[in-house]
Structure 1
Amino acid sequence: MAHVIIFLIVAYLLTFLWNPIAILAAESTNRSELDRRGLLYFKQGLNDPLGVLSAWVSLDFCSWKGLAGQLSQSLANLTSIVRLDLANNQLSGGIPDELGTLPKLQVLMLASNMLAGNIPGSLGSRSRPLSYVNLAYNNLSGGIPHSLAACPSLTVLNLTSNSLSGTIPSSLFNGTSSKLAVVNLRANLFSGSIPEFHKNNLSGGIPTSLGNVTSLTQISLGTNQLVGAIPESLSNIPNLTMLSISYNDLSGHVPTLLYNISSLVILYLGQNNLTGRIPYAVGPNLEALDMSGNKFDGLLPASLANASKLQILDLSSNLLAGQLPVEIGNLAFLEMPNLEQNQLVHAIPIELGYLSNLQMLSMGQNYLSGGIPSTVANLSGLFLLSLSGNRLSGQVPTGIGMLLPNLNELNLKNNYLTGSIPASLANSTQLVMLDLSFNSFSGSIPSELLDNPSLSVGLDLSNNHLTGSIPPEIGALVRLVLLDVSNNKLSGQVPSSLGHLKAISLIDLSQNKFIGQIPEFLGNLKLLTQLDLSNNNFTGPIPTTGIFQNTTAVILDGNIGLCRANTTNFATIFSICPRISTGGTKNNNARLLLIVIPPITIALFSFLCFMVTLLKKREHIFPCYKETMKKVSYGDILKATNWLSPVNKISTSRTGSVYIGRFQFDTDLVVIKVFHLDEYGSLNSFLMECQVLRNTRHRNLMKAVTLCSTVDLENNEFKAIVFDFMANGSLDMWVHPKLHQNCPKRCLSLGQRIRIAADVASALDYMHNQLVPPLVHCDLKPSNVLLDYDMTARVGDYGSAKFISSDPSSPKEFVGVGGTIGYIAPEYGMGYKISTGCDVYSFGVLLLEMFTGMKPTDAMFTNGISLHKLVSSAYPHELCKVLDPYMSQEGNNVFATLTLQSYLMPLVEVALLCSMDLPKDRPGTRDVCAKILEISEAFLES
């Protein structure tokens, strides 16, 4: 028996110890099962709407979609997963820890999905050959795993555009042993603000250890919340080709040696708080240098032009002074978009004409003076020319268009340019956008200019001194989207060729001297969404088709000769067109009845409509209003907002949530306010907003695109209002950018603040003094002041508003629980009747906030100290101490002193008077509006 046992042991040893094939086969089975198990765990945790993982069922997992395996040369039949690529497949769910069990994984690509949760720490291992990780464009949260530092072969780490937080682990950059070449931790930049989705929020400083990784070639850390200085150690990376750290909160000086890295091609430092001077020399291979939105000062050194390969140079929004050096003509490609808030006070140097290869030149929002040098016309390759928002004067060089055949956009708005508009611009056959608004151009509109079908984005000639009629050649602009010739001295009739503009979305002919009837063909322009014909001499009946069915999209005020052809359109402004008598002398009483009775009837009918709605609270509101509005369903709103997705939500309150969206087949974004009807007072808020929107029409008040009153999928009441999208957000965002994640980065200039104050004052004057009965907003504050694409202010959110009556027999309106703390007038707490003085108080606080940058509810305002008292104690001799410091960057000391005495002190005086505690001490809205408009006009003329 013992012999048998010995024989079996020997046989086992001979079989397995001397037969490695069997051992390796067993090991192969175990490792393959480990790969399969990790992949199946990964699949189980995902939502797969496209079904890309549906074929993950066969035994040969290396044939599964998105996978690649590798046959081991040392282990018989052992296949391991080395590549997992499922990018851009709409996958959602989390990444399981089991994915870290794939022992031979080298490449992991899951970018452009909707994955959430944390990045598993199990991905990092010293035994794993992981070399390429791309998880960009998801919604991953949490921190960057420190364990990734344990991957000795890692060369690319791309975590762009997620929702990561925490600090950047310094252990990732463990010196010479690291093979990292590319580190991308930035957020994706969208137009306007960056949504929370696809927005990293990494904080802390840039790790000093980053400079120890000599293998790095690309570093991108932009659009986070990084603070502190740029480490000197970054200058030690010998092969660095790109460094992008824009849109953070970095401060201090830039290390001088950083500019001189010989391999550096792209250096983005924009939108931080960096200081110091522009470098005298940069690396010989540098092609792009962005230093915009910082606090760099001093002169632009001429030696910078020695960077012969420089293609992009952005120095906007700094504190630069002096003249552009002549030597800058050596640059091949120059881009200086919006050199805002610089202290450039010189004329444009004629040496700019030496830049024969210049393609983009934008120096807007400065204090440039003098004329536009004729040598600018030598820039034959120029693609974009923007000199807006300066103090340029004189005439535009006559041959500018003839010598700039490649010009795509010309923006000279908001200067003091005179003379006629050059007809030679017609020779710029690629021109798509022309903006000459807010100047002093005179003469007629050149017919040659309009005979240029390339003009498609916009033609803005508003706020000049143009005369004559609109040339019939305008019909050639068949692709034009925006036409604005408002506030000129144009006359004559609207040419019939204007009806050929089939792509037009906005037409503004207001503040001119046009005559005749409003053309019927305007109602046939299918894409027209805004039409302003106000303050002209139009006569006759108002058309009733197309855009004229939406009274919120058409402005006709100031045309006293107009009348309406039916009982609904523009009922609050114009009377019904009188019928022509067939003969005989008309009876004066009959004529009076014909004129007076219809408006009274319509007013009574409108009031009954509103009362029936209040009583029934049914699905359809304001039946006399619904036919003039675009009809949208509950389903339309769901699709427009991605099923009311949190990603689309931009704000919320007790009574409603606000979403951004776009309706199917529409090109414009809209804002949709959905009311929380389960909250007390929400329905009344909706009805009040509807009543205000229905009875108001002013350029500084928000307008509704349409309403929706129906039931949702569960048969619950659903009510929403759709508004135009305001491209520049709210005033609150601009006055307190840090409370909105420093977006927008740029601050309001003094001129913009004065214009916004004038806009809001005009809106209040309209509500208080031009409406019958007067309207009190009751919740005026910066977050309820919206700014459109050209920074025009519009007051919105009328849920707390009240119409007040002077009739002593009418029920008294007392202030209830409404408004916002800090902006509520003191008398609110004492049972006072609602009055326009309540809005005047809120407006005063709003002005103080706008010019100091301090909220009335800041923590410093305790123990009887308020924003009003703080400013009052500093007024007038120490006013500079409490003003927003960013306004002081707008000019030299002489200009600053003049500005303080001529504009800021009078504005602050108005704000202090408006925010007095006692209502009797406050001025009336009409006086406030007149004073602010006077200050605004004086500022524009200075």
Structure 2
Amino acid sequence: MRPPTSNNNSNNNPTMSLFSLLLSLSFLPLALSLRAATLRTQSNFLSLMKDSLSGPSMASWDIAGAVGGSPYCNFSGISCDDHGYVVEIDLSSWKLVGDFPSGVCSSLPMLRALWLADNDIRNGFPKDLLNCSSLAELNFSHSGLTGTVPDISQLQSLRLIDLSNNFFTGEFPTSIINLTNLEVIDLNQNPGFDPWKLPETITQLKKLRVLILSTTSMGGEIPPCIGNMTSLADLELSGNRLAGRIPATIGKLQSLRSLELYYNHLSGEIPDELGNLTKLVDLDMSDNHLTGGIPEKLGAISGLEVLQLYTNRLTGGVPRVLGNSTALSLLSIYGNFLTGELPPDLGRHSKLILLEVADNQLSGQLPRDACAAGELLYLLVLNNHFSGELPETYAQCKSLIRFRVANNQLNGSIPEELFGLPHAAIIDLGFNRFEGTIAKTIGNAKNLSALFLSHNLISGALPPEISWDTNLVKIDLSHNLLSGPIPPEIANLYKLNQLSLQENKLDSSIPVSLSLLKSLNVLNLSNNYLTGEIPQSLCNLLPNSLDFSNNRLSGPVPLPLIKEGLIESVYGNPELCVPFHPDLTKPTLPLCPKPSIRRGLNDVWVIGVSLMLMILAVLLFLKRWLSRKNAVIEQDGLSSSPSSLYDVTSFHKLSFDQHEIVEALTDRNIVGHGGSGTVYKIALSNGEMVAVKKLWSRTMKNPPPYQSYLDKELKTEVETLGSIRHKNIVKLYCCFSSMDCKLLVYEYMPNGNLWDALHSGGSFLDWPTRHRIASGVAQGLAYLHHDLLFPIVHRDIKTSNILLDEDFEPKVADFGVAKVLQARGDHESSATVITGTYGYLAPEYAYSTKATTKCDVYSFGVVLMELVTGKKPNEPEFGENQDIIHWVSSKMGTKERAMDAIDKQLSWSPFKEEMIQVLRIALRCTLRTPALRPSMNEVVQLLLEVDPSKFDVAGSFKFKHLASLKG
């Protein structure tokens, strides 16, 4: 038995016990006093926080009404320990604006977690936090922080640091490497850092589980020693400037679940050792310069859900073992040089959501079980060498949104139910060898926006049921064997922008009802057997691309086609005639026969009336000319007499002359002033309206110092608008130019511009109208960027440059700073001065004067945000040095906050989910790294998929993948 120790004896001593008790009691008042002082200090600091950070949620902190103890422990966002000490502050997504107060560490000595994500914190990183020795979690993501990140080496207790999606500049804070207790580092989306390299000392962070350094201006190579960080579960280095090979040592990271290296300059082969990452779930190495094949071991990883390797230089086959996967949901390997067949069992055992293998050299048959789980949203296999028939199973894949198999060698008939996929936005079967007919089930495709069937062997009639698909925007059935009439019911497709039916065997007459298609931009009916006259009413549309050539049409060519210089669009119709031979046009069509005398007195009466009208017109002209003899027009300090001579450059047949325009340049017709001149609204004698932009003159007494730049602006605008035609780009009728006056005459837009409609109490725009405006502008920009021989960068996209016609259809205007990309094929153009408008300028303008199409994409993203939120690009509520992009970003953390970003005028709208999707597209457009932004063609398709009339079946589909889709 152990003898009692001396301590036990003392504890049993009554005298000693009494002494200890008295000693404890003597210190009790001091302890209580210190605790009370600390509680008061904490209360005072929280009161200071409430004063410094304003926001509606702060109203719940009733500090003045708190009585006794530590009542602030009951405040929302505050957590305390059992002794009343504040240990956690979580005010994420509280809409706070202001400075974070100093004194936090001395006032809250036990603070272990500070979460202020999705707020607007001013004056950069709160340096006072560096003294918080107990701080373990620090989250300032999406909080608008600017400036540099200080040395944070002394925060040795830190386990989590999240400074993602801010606006830091200067040196990257490599001091985080000294914080050896760190488990999570997230500095994603801070592209303003100076170029830097990942140091090898990163390996001293032995406990690190999450390392997210995407889009942080990181360059150099990935250090091979990173393979020693065996605790890593998430490694994301995408959107940087990394080069060199992928280290094989990454295969040693046995805990790794996510590896994202996309959008870099990595080269060499994919290491076989990556197949050792048995816990890997998400692998994305897209958009690099990788070569070689896809390792078989990589495809054999049993839990791999996402495999994205698109836009590289990979060769060889697709690992057959992928067909055995029970986890694979996204396979995106488009834009490589892959050959061979797809695994025949692909999708049989897993819930495949996306299969994207376009732009390769794959062959063989398509995997019949790709949609076995019934969850496939995107099947994109275009531009390969696939052969055989379409699997019947695809017709039952009701979940499909995009079905694109164009440019292959597929044959046989198209399953009837495939035409009627209920959620499909795009069905693209073009450039194959399909036979058979277009099934009547096409009428069930209620969400269809694009139907492409060109260059096949499709025969039979175009079913009238296609008119039930009222979301259709593009139809291309050209180069087939279609026969019979064009169904007049097609006029129900009020959104239709393109109707291409050329190179078929269509007969009968052109339906007059086509004139109801107000959105039509492309109409091609050439090389058919169409008969009868060209409907006069169809000429009210005058699409930008019109072709009736090589048919059997007869009768007179409508005058609008001749006036608009579209006479070539009717060549190859021997029985057509013209009332006169247009100027500068070869007389390839015969003159229409003169009226026969047998028509009698009616014709004589018509001729007489015509002569009288001509005489009256001559008299009116003489009267106007005489009245001008003594008139001198004083305008903007300029004297311009009727005898002034103008160089006239016209781009359309004009229904007015220069004198009618010049005489109307009076003060009462002024509707606006700009940096380059004055804008007039002029009513013509024929009842039409035009808008005239009068640029400042060289002969002004005090010409602006940038006169030479304005001369270039005029030349640019004339050359640009004169060479293009699109229904969403404002029409330039002509240019009048003299030594003392320069005039641009445009079509007039009665509903003004989008800025006024949104921000100046203009007409209320519901969401379907706003979406239609967004889609129209996107189509106009896509035309400029992708459909011309040399792309055009507008360089000043903003809501005030988007005009609205009588039906609120948008037209992009003001091309004064536009730039045609160089003929050598560059994707960028330079300017000697920075152009554009504050709030819409892409961030790369801060360090480069080069303008790319991605600059327009960025500006368009701001326009999208304006349309959804109703906010201006810069509002006081956003905070100092913050803009709408930062504000929207801060709202997208939760669905509730995203809903709060929607324009209050649309609070009743049933389309809130669609509006949030558009905000996500806008955020993608406004990414700080240009390479990460989508093209305008991609934006057009993304907007089509969130059309208000469509049902969103994508649900929780990962937006990163949705926004990166090619097809």
TM-score scaled by length of structure 2 = 0.58
Q: Give the Cα separation in 1 of the matches to 2:32 and 2:387.
A: 88
1:397 to 390, 395, 411: 390
Q: CA deviation digits over 1:682-740, x for unaligned, max 9?
A: 99999999988987763599557957379989x99x9xx9994448979999xxxxxxx
Note closer, same or farther for the CA distance 1:475–1:567 as it changes in structure 2 (3 Å cut). closer
Say whether 1:586 aligns with 2:603: yes
One-letter amino acid of the structure 1 residue matched with residue 30 of structure 2: I
Distance 1:80 1:483 in 2: 68
In structure 1, distance between residues paired with 2:610 and 2:496: 40
Contact 1:395 1:418 in 2 (8 A): yes
Q: Does structure 1 residue 253 correspond to structure 2 residue 297? A: no
Q: Secondary structure at the match of 1:474?
A: helix
Separation in 2, partners of 1:100, 1:364 = 55
Contact 2:332/2:354 (8 A) holds in 1: no
State the AA in 2 paired with 1:540: P
2:499 to 490, 508, 519: 508
User: Partner amino acid for 1:850?
Assistant: D
The offset of 1:556, in angstroms, is 4.7
Q: What residue in structure 1 maps to residue 154 of structure 2? A: 150
Q: Secondary structure at the match of 1:450?
A: helix
- Out of 67, 76, 84, which is 2:89 matched to? 84
Does residue 708 in structure 1 map to residue 752 in structure 2? Answer: yes
Identify the match of residue 48 of structure 1 among 15, 35, 55. 55
Of 578, 600, 605, 2:656 maps to 605
1:152 is paired with a residue whose SS is coil
Rounded to whole Å, the distance in 1 between the matches of 2:611 and 2:294 is 74
Give the counterpart letter for 2:789 in structure 1: V
Structure 1 position 423 matched with structure 2 position 416:
yes
The 1-side partners of 2:484 and 2:616 are apart by 32
Determine if the alignment matches structure 1 residue 170 to structure 2 residue 162: no
Q: Are the equivalent residues in 2 in contact too, given 1:101–1:122 (CA < 8 A)?
A: no
176, 183, 186: which one aligns with 2:185: 183
Q: 1:134 aligns with which of 139, 145, 160?
A: 139
| Aligned CA distance change for structure 1 residues 449 and 623 (closer, same or farther; 3 Å) | farther
Given candidates 670, 688, 704, the residue that maps to 1:618 is 670
CA contact (8 A) 2:188 2:212 kept: yes
Structure 1 gap ranges (5+) = 1-14, 74-78, 188-197, 632-653, 656-676, 734-755, 764-779, 787-794, 801-817, 821-841, 858-942
- Deviation of the 1:629 alpha carbon: 11
Residue 760 (1) aligns with residue 802 (2): no
Alpha-carbon deviation of 1:243? 1.3
In the alignment, the residues of structure 1 paired with residue 440 and residue 395 of structure 2 have an alpha-carbon distance, to the nearest angstrom, of 12
Deviates more, 1:284-293 or 1:691-700: 691-700
Does the Cα contact within 8 Å between 2:159 and 2:182 map onto a contact in 1? yes
Q: In the alignment, which residue of structure 2 is the partner of 1:540?
A: 535
Alignment pair present for 1:113 and 2:115: no
Identity of aligned residues (%): 20
Which of the numbers 286, 289, 308 marks the counterpart of 1:292? 286
Return the alpha-carbon distance in structure 2 between the equivalents of residues 334 and 440 of structure 1: 29
Matched residue, 2:428: 435
Distance 2:258 2:419 in 1: 37
- State how far apart, in whole Å, the 2-side matches of 1:260 and 1:630 are: 70
Judged with a 3 Å threshold, the aligned counterparts in structure 2 of structure 1 residues 688 and 230 are, in CA distance, closer, same or farther, namely closer
Distance change (3 Å), C-alpha of 1:34 and 1:409: same
State whether residues 47 and 92 of structure 1, in contact with CA within 8 Å, keep that contact through their aligned partners in structure 2. Answer: yes
Question: Displacement of 1:368 after TM fit?
Answer: 1.0
The answer (yes or no) to whether the contact 2:460–2:481 under 8 Å persists in 1 is yes
Q: 2:664, 2:391 → 1: CA distance?
A: 62
Tell me what 2:165 maps to. Answer: 161
For residues 613 and 428 of structure 2, the distance between their equivalents in structure 1, rounded to whole angstroms, comes to 44
1:72 to 1:630, Cα distance in 2 relative to 1, 3 A: farther
Counterpart residue number, 1:301: 295
Per-residue CA distance 1:524-583 (angstroms, 9 max, x = gap): x8xx755432455682232699xx5xx7x775565898999999999786999x9x9998
Q: Amino acid of the residue matched to residue 255 of structure 2?
A: S
Q: CA deviation at 1:470?
A: 2.4
Asked if structure 2 preserves the Cα contact closer than 8 Å seen for 1:250 and 1:274, the reply is yes
**Whole-Å Cα distance in 1 between the matches of residues 315 and 56 of structure 2?**
57
Q: 1:912-927 residue pairs with structure 2 within 5 A? A: none
Q: 2: CA distance between counterparts of 1:583 and 1:64?
A: 100
Determine the structure 2 residue equivalent to 1:213: 205
Greater alpha carbon shift after TM alignment, 215-224 vs 100-109: 100-109
- Are the aligned partners of 2:256 and 2:279 in contact in 1 as well (CA < 8 Å)? yes
For 1:566 and 1:96, how far apart are their aligned partners in 2? 74
Could you say what secondary structure the match of 1:276 adopts?
A: strand
**1:16-95 residue pairs with structure 2 within 5 A?**
19-48=26-55, 52=59, 55=62, 57-59=64-66, 62=72, 65-70=75-80, 73=83, 79-95=84-100
Q: Which of 430, 450, 459 is residue 442 of structure 2 equivalent to?
A: 450
Q: Is the 8 A contact 1:108 1:132 kept in 2?
A: yes
One-letter code of the match for 2:78? A
Q: Distance in 1 between matches of 2:40 and 2:823?
A: 70
Structural mapping, 1:451-600, within 5 Å:
451-453=443-445, 455-462=447-454, 466-478=458-470, 480=472, 483-485=475-477, 490=482, 492-498=484-490, 504=495, 506-509=497-500, 511=502, 516=509, 520=513, 523=516, 529-535=519-525, 539-542=534-537, 556=546, 558=548, 586=603
1:198-233 CA-to-partner distances (Å, cap 9, x unmatched) read 866464122433322222222211122111222333
2:227 aligns to what? 235
8 A Cα contact 1:469 1:492, kept in partner? yes
1:850 counterpart (826, 831, 842): 826
Q: Quick one: distance in 2 between partners of 1:210 and 1:598?
A: 89
Question: Cα gap change, 1:354/1:100 in structure 2, threshold over 3 Å: closer, same or farther?
Answer: closer
Report the Cα offset of residue 414 of structure 1. Answer: 3.9
Structure 2 SS opposite 1:848: coil
Q: How many Å separate the matches in 1 of 2:289 and 2:443?
A: 45
Distance 1:710 1:261 in 2: 53
Q: Which has the higher contact order (CA 8 A, sep 6+)?
A: 2
8 Å contact kept, 1:568–1:624: no
Matches of 2:449 and 2:818, distance apart in 1: 41
Give the 3 Å change call, closer, same or farther, for CA 694–305 of structure 1 in structure 2.
closer
Q: 1:622 to 1:542 in 2, by over 3 A?
A: farther
Match of 1:225 in 2: 217
Q: What SS does the corresponding residue of 1:124 show, helix, strand or coil?
A: helix
Instruction: Report the secondary structure of 2:93's partner residue.
Output: coil
Indicate conservation of the 8 Å contact 1:542/1:562, yes or no: no
Paired with 1:482 and 1:232, the residues of 2 have a C-alpha distance of 50
Q: Distance in 1 between matches of 2:681 and 2:298?
A: 66
Q: What is the aligned length?
A: 678
1:698 maps to which residue? Answer: 725
Determine the C-alpha separation between the residues in 1 that align with 2:73 and 2:261: 46
User: What residue number does 1:269 align with?
Assistant: 261
Contact 1:222 1:245 in 2 (8 A): yes
RMSD between superposed Cα atoms in Å: 5.6
* Distance of aligned partners of 1:563 and 1:108 in 2 relative to their CA distance in 1, 3 Å threshold: farther
1:315 aligns with 2:325: no
* 1:30-60 residue CA offsets vs partner (Å, 9 max, x unmatched): 4344334433443444453676478554446
Cα distance in 2 for residues equivalent to 1:181 and 1:530: 57
Alignment of 1:726-805 (within 5 A): 726=778, 759-760=788-789, 799=815
